[in-house]
């Protein structure tokens, strides 16, 4: 069942992405290079439509056939809200405040229909928060993940690869513990994104745009909260799975705030962006990121069944890995700047 539904999601997304990747198509909207871009020529940016429609159609079919419960309803509604406002932004541009309002509405909808912070936030940690605190934290996490994923969608094959590996890890963990519905939803997202990734892997013929990246961000946060609520995997494990995006985006944002920069404006100072600018190129950089993503995903799934002390050991290991990688990239970047002066 899971295989058949996943193949369907892949096929639908691939067909739609192929159509949208044609610059002559009426449905294609070109992304012209700007100060944040790492590409030099216009590329269609409506690929997110393929992902969203494939996921929505297949999940709706699963619900109508009785393979997916009604619990999926609010998730689909929230995802379509975010996808819709993001599509408007892709088409004609939309002020940040309006997008954030919709993000908050979607996040609040999910938080108050069951997806709140629950279970182990850290290994062995079961904080007894009041209900309103757990929901408030869930709203913050969802909104941040929506925007974080959008920030990180700046390189060919990057956001799509994170989705395939990240949701793939959540799906495998769901399958291992017998949470078949959870596994199915995640693997549908994997398959749909995989169909798009065929045309997005460097050199990309199409981008997912905000429609795809913002929606995937919401789904990542939602499935992390869902997994914690149903005791499929704790929140810290989902954090580790998506940490290649979370760490880069969060550390970069904090550094820009501390430097007094206009952190809300477009930029090219994420760690992955600097690697591309230093000559690594899209393909080499994204393949290196895939290795990092796979390492985090595998270790997170493996760590779930371990004792808390060993789980902490794995977390500390990855903290050290990220620290070393960031210092290394910072030093390379400094040499790159000095060489250009």
Helix (H) or strand (E) holding 31: strand 30-31
Q: How far is CA 320 from CA 121, 234, 286, 327, in A?
A: 20, 21, 21, 11
Consult the annotation and say whether 150 binds a ligand: yes
Look up residue 204 and give its DSSP letter: P
Q: How far is CA 146 from CA 102, 128, 214, 293, 307, in A?
A: 11, 26, 5, 19, 32
Determine the Cα–Cα distance for residues 226 and 239; give it in Å rounded to an integer: 13
Determine the Cα–Cα distance for residues 138 and 226; give it in Å rounded to an integer: 11
**Assign residue 285 a region: left if phi > 0, alpha if psi is -120 to 50, beta otherwise?**
alpha
Consult the annotation and say whether 153 binds a ligand: no
Helix (H) or strand (E) holding 289: helix 281-303
Q: Spell 195-205 as b/e; 16+ CB within 10 A means b.
A: bbbbbbbbebb
Determine the Cα–Cα distance for residues 166 and 313; give it in Å rounded to an integer: 21
Read out DSSP for 255-267?
Answer: HHHHTT--TTS--
Name the token pair of 105. Answer: 């509405």
Determine the Cα–Cα distance for residues 75 and 114; give it in Å rounded to an integer: 10
Contact 302, 177 (CB under 8 A): no
Query: Binding site membership: which residues?
Result: 150, 210
Query: Binding site membership for Mg(2+): which residues?
Result: 150, 210
């Amino acid at each position: 069942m899971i295989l058949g539904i996943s193949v369907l999601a892949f096929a639908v997304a691939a067909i739609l992405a192929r159509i949208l990747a044609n610059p002559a198509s009426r449905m294609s909207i070109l992304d012209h290079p700007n100060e944040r871009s790492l590409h030099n020529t216009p590329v269609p940016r409506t690929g997110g439509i393929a992902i969203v429609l494939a996921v929505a159609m297949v999940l709706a079919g699963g619900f109508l056939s009785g393979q997916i419960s009604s619990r999926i309803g609010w998730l689909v509604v929230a995802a379509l809200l975010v996808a819709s406002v993001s599509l408007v932004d892709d088409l004609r541009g939309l002020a940040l405040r309006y997008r954030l309002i919709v993000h908050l509405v979607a996040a609040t909808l999910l938080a108050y229909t069951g997806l709140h912070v629950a279970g182990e936030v850290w290994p062995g940690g079961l904080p007894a928060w009041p209900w309103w605190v757990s929901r408030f934290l869930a709203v913050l996490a969802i909104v941040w993940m929506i925007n974080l994923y959008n920030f990180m969608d700046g390189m060919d094959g990057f956001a799509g690869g994170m989705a395939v590996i990240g949701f793939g890890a959540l799906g495998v963990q769901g399958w291992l513990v017998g949470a078949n519905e959870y596994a199915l939803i995640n693997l549908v997202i994997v398959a749909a994104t995989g169909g798009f990734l065929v045309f997005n892997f460097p050199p990309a013929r199409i981008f997912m745009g905000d429609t795809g990246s913002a929606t995937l961000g919401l789904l990542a946060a939602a499935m992390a909260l869902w997994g914690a609520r149903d005791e499929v995997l704790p929140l810290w494990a989902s954090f580790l799975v998506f940490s290649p995006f979370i760490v880069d985006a969060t550390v970069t944002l904090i550094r820009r705030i501390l430097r007094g920069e206009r952190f809300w404006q477009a930029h090219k100072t994420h760690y992955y962006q600097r690697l591309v600018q230093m000559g690594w190129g899209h393909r080499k950089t994204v393949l290196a990121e895939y290795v990092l993503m796979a390492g985090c995903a595998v270790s997170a799934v493996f760590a779930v069944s371990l004792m808390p002390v060993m789980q902490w050991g794995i977390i500390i290991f990855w903290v050290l890995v990220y620290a070393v990688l960031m210092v290394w990239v910072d030093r390379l970047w400094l040499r790159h700047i000095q060489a250009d002066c």
